[in-house]
């Protein structure tokens, strides 16, 4: 009897997740569509183009989260887990994606936070890019919260013989 109740609860959660995913997809579609159109415009000024690219990347990451909601009952396939990811390029994106928090919001509260990159060239790694971006973004946002007086955040990628190490450190 308890198993039937648990299965019904899971089914209800799955239906709710599906509904939320559908609504979020409807919201993300124009964001991704319009940013895609803007990026195709050859007359878009370079500074604005870069900002639109960040919005587009964040929208794509949000769409990937929505996709995970839609796949609530399904495990990822081996192909989904073995994407080739340029980790160095991905980590280079994090300061721009998190700039509103570590620079703008921090300065508004009287704090100065610096973000430093310490990256070495490495071969692509296996992973899921949007999930890795989400992890690094969360680590940087947590680091900002851990530094009420300001400080420095360092994103580092290095490699040894067969190992890649990526880390986020802060002075908080």
pLDDT digits (tens, 9 = 90+) for 106-164: 888 889 999 999 999 999 998 888 889 989 999 999 999 999 999 999 999 999 888 99
Q: Is residue 167 pLDDT above 90, yes or no?
A: yes
User: How confident is the model at residue 80, as a pLDDT?
Assistant: 62
Question: Any residues with CB less than 8 A from the CB of 44 and at least 6 apart, and which?
Answer: 38, 52
Backbone angles phi, psi at 134, to 5 degrees: -65, -40
Predicted TM-score (pTM) of this structure: 0.62
Pinpoint the alpha helices (H) of the chain.
2-40, 46-70, 78-81, 87-99, 106-108, 129-145
What is the DSSP code (8-state) at residue 86? Answer: -
* 85 burial type by CB count under 10 A (0-12 exposed, 13-18 middle, 19+ buried): middle
Q: 88, 121 in Cβ contact below 8 A? A: yes
Per the listing, tokens 């160095």 go with 88
Q: What percent of the chain has pLDDT over 70?
A: 92
| Residue scoring higher pLDDT (44 or 11) | 44
CA distance 21 to 25: 6
Look at strands 113-119 and 151-159 and give their pairing: parallel
User: How confident is the model at residue 137, as a pLDDT?
Assistant: 92
């Amino acid at each position: 009897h308890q198993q039937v109740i648990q299965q019904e609860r899971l089914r209800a959660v799955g239906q709710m997740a599906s509904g939320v995913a559908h609504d979020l997809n409807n919201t993300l579609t124009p964001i991704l569509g319009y940013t895609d159109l803007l990026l195709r415009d050859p007359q878009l000024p370079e500074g604005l183009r870069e900002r639109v690219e960040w919005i587009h990347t964040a929208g794509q990451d949000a769409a990937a989260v929505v996709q995970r909601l839609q796949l609530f009952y399904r495990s990822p396939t081996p192909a989904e887990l073995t994407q080739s990811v340029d980790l160095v390029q991905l980590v280079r994106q994090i300061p721009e994606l998190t700039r509103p928090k570590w620079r703008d919001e921090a300065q508004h509260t009287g704090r100065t936070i610096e973000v430093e990159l310490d990256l070495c060239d490495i071969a692509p790694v296996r992973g899921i890019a949007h999930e890795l971006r989400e992890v690094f973004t969360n680590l940087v946002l947590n680091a900002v919260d851990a530094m009420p007086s300001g400080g420095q955040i360092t994103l580092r990628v290095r490699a040894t013989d067969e190992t890649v190490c990526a880390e986020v450190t802060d002075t908080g």
